Structure 1
């Protein structure tokens, strides 16, 4: 049974049809594709850690955040298939909601860590070595997880289930949004999206500038690095940009049920876009480090060879971190 700790002050009549049509398709796709992809990525992140590469720590943490959210998808799938009616207790609603937001902001945090790590490796290969160690990566990871858990504990002290106009028990949905959510949404936009995106853009612009000016870098390698950088920024903007922009729009304009009804569909489409981050992250892992890229390439080529679709041949890879500092041990590169 659900215990109501906070009832909706205003019961808006919202059309939830988008949850029955689009959400189940997205959740099932992300679960089927994201679960094995992230398990594989977790394994290769472990190999990076075993090779004493600090990048592996960031990759593993990013994958763990994705896997936690993927494991919560069956609950959200049942929720939307039952016309947004939460049949479990409020504690489980809070846990699933915390995992949802943790996935967004922990993913953002570790994507920034990866971009800064690559920036220091390419732009300042002989400086800031103390920030590119296994110990530093562990400390940064602990800080990110602690910060996000404390933020969630502070934010989610309110009741997160309420009864809507159709007598359905809704989880993590308030229409119109409540007063305490306004400042939280502004914080999410500024500290959870805008500031990390600025760091990511600064890092990758620095990488592109150095690669462009490097006369010794092969043209094909430059193209590969540029594609990696542009795809990372693109995925970041597509997965997280619309959602955070709409958070601000809701905080500024959503005062009545009329506006809540108008923005409901587009807001939930933006929320679904954040879910695709769980599938996009493993794709980026293929280009994040040399050994990971080569292992995926070998596995792909072996499968194609067994199927008779590809003749065995030697292929050349151009991962981003081939510009590691020359004075680092070979096994770390």
Structure 2
């Protein structure tokens, strides 16, 4: 029963998911990148990471029709071995590139809230570009060895495995575990550390602007959703499935939990590609900011310029509205600050 359900999912549901993600993801990412380019100067340095996040999606989305056709034809690949490896490589670039740039956005937001003047004022566009290049290099170095593993069996050249053939599965498991640690676990720990600290800061200071708290919590929810739905299940079940195959190659017998893990892994492969649809939620979260900036500035003028306080208040923002200048103002109330319009 479980085997039939798995086959039904693999050959019908998975192609349907890929087709839907291709259509919806293409439209959502075109809209997202268009919005980023239109508001390039308003967004500041974070626009570089958003742009690269969109590029990562566009590397993967054009391959989905081919993968959809592959599974719809009951795992028969008719596009050649070279294109099979390119397709799988693009998938990995999208997956780990997305994780990398989401982590960069999280660190940027963390610095903007916790260290708005000490660090954020020193970050330039050049730094953001250099970090983006470094992310692409790391992701490429991590993903490139995958292309050297065979994607089909010697006597089954019509296959296009997303891992490798049974002869090399033990070596691939070792590679996959290291890849998971460097490409997923470390970014996840960085993200959790950043947003854990941000949450403490937001909860500790009761005078923080309500809009600031809402926007921080919204982004945190989006990223938790992305990692919980798309990334965590995929990495867990991928490595468990590989481990099961290693056990079979050693003992000539699959463990009792193999079918359950295999089924969960197939489902997680459909879920992981949803990141190309969910990533534009990050664009959506950042896009609705100009009106809030004007509202915040007007609010500041009403508060400070209509008082008799002897201090001179000049406000500072860091080239991006979600740097939460209001948090910095509340922490530094009564001190002379520098304000520069974006």
- 1:239 pairs with 2:239: no
In the TM superposition, residue 173 of structure 1 has moved relative to its aligned partner by 4.5
Task: Give the equivalent residue in structure 2 for 1:144.
Answer: 135
Task: Give the equivalent residue in structure 1 for 2:15.
Answer: 24
Task: Give the equivalent residue in structure 2 for 1:313.
Answer: none
In the TM superposition, residue 51 of structure 1 has moved relative to its aligned partner by 4.0
- Please tell me whether the aligned partners of residues 230 and 272 of structure 2 are also in contact (alpha carbons under 8 angstroms): yes
Task: Give the equivalent residue in structure 1 for 2:270.
Answer: 272
In the TM superposition, residue 202 of structure 1 has moved relative to its aligned partner by 1.0
Query: Which residue of the other structure, out of 172, 182, 185, is the alignment partner of 1:181?
Result: 172
- 1:171 pairs with 2:161: yes
In the TM superposition, residue 136 of structure 1 has moved relative to its aligned partner by 0.6
Query: Which residue of the other structure, out of 312, 316, 341, is the alignment partner of 1:330?
Result: 341
The structure-2 alpha-carbon separation of the partners of 1:204 and 1:262, relative to structure 1 and needing over 3 Å to count, comes to: closer
Task: Give the equivalent residue in structure 2 for 1:222.
Answer: 213
For residue 324 of structure 2, give the secondary structure of its aligned residue in structure 1: helix
Task: Give the equivalent residue in structure 2 for 1:128.
Answer: 119
- Please tell me whether the aligned partners of residues 45 and 125 of structure 2 are also in contact (alpha carbons under 8 angstroms): yes
Q: Deviation digits for residues 229-285 of structure 1, max 9, x if unmatched?
A: 123223212210011112332343332274555533211111111111111110122
The structure-2 alpha-carbon separation of the partners of 1:264 and 1:242, relative to structure 1 and needing over 3 Å to count, comes to: same
Unaligned 5+ segments in structure 2 are: 293-320, 329-336
CA distance in 2, matches of 1:164, 1:140: 44
CA distance in 2, matches of 1:100, 1:292: 34
- Please tell me whether the aligned partners of residues 24 and 81 of structure 1 are also in contact (alpha carbons under 8 angstroms): yes
Unaligned 5+ segments in structure 1 are: 1-13, 295-318
Superposed, 1:1-333 pairs within 5 Å as 16-51=7-42, 53-129=44-120, 132-162=123-153, 168-174=158-164, 176=166, 178-219=169-210, 221-254=212-245, 255-256=247-248, 258-259=254-255, 261-288=259-286, 291=289, 320-323=322-325, 327=338, 329-331=340-342
What count of residue pairs does the alignment treat as equivalent? 294
The structure-2 alpha-carbon separation of the partners of 1:99 and 1:216, relative to structure 1 and needing over 3 Å to count, comes to: same
Q: Deviation digits for residues 197-236 of structure 1, max 9, x if unmatched?
A: 1111111122222222333323455244323312322321
The structure-2 alpha-carbon separation of the partners of 1:21 and 1:209, relative to structure 1 and needing over 3 Å to count, comes to: same
- Please tell me whether the aligned partners of residues 86 and 168 of structure 1 are also in contact (alpha carbons under 8 angstroms): yes
TM-score, normalised relative to structure 2: 0.77
The structure-2 alpha-carbon separation of the partners of 1:151 and 1:194, relative to structure 1 and needing over 3 Å to count, comes to: closer
The structure-2 alpha-carbon separation of the partners of 1:97 and 1:130, relative to structure 1 and needing over 3 Å to count, comes to: farther
CA distance in 2, matches of 1:131, 1:81: 52
In the TM superposition, residue 171 of structure 1 has moved relative to its aligned partner by 3.3
In the TM superposition, residue 293 of structure 1 has moved relative to its aligned partner by 8.8
For residue 162 of structure 1, give the secondary structure of its aligned residue in structure 2: coil
CA distance in 2, matches of 1:75, 1:267: 20
The structure-2 alpha-carbon separation of the partners of 1:119 and 1:245, relative to structure 1 and needing over 3 Å to count, comes to: same
CA distance in 2, matches of 1:218, 1:51: 21
The structure-2 alpha-carbon separation of the partners of 1:328 and 1:29, relative to structure 1 and needing over 3 Å to count, comes to: farther
- Please tell me whether the aligned partners of residues 84 and 151 of structure 2 are also in contact (alpha carbons under 8 angstroms): yes
The structure-2 alpha-carbon separation of the partners of 1:284 and 1:31, relative to structure 1 and needing over 3 Å to count, comes to: same
Larger Rg: 2
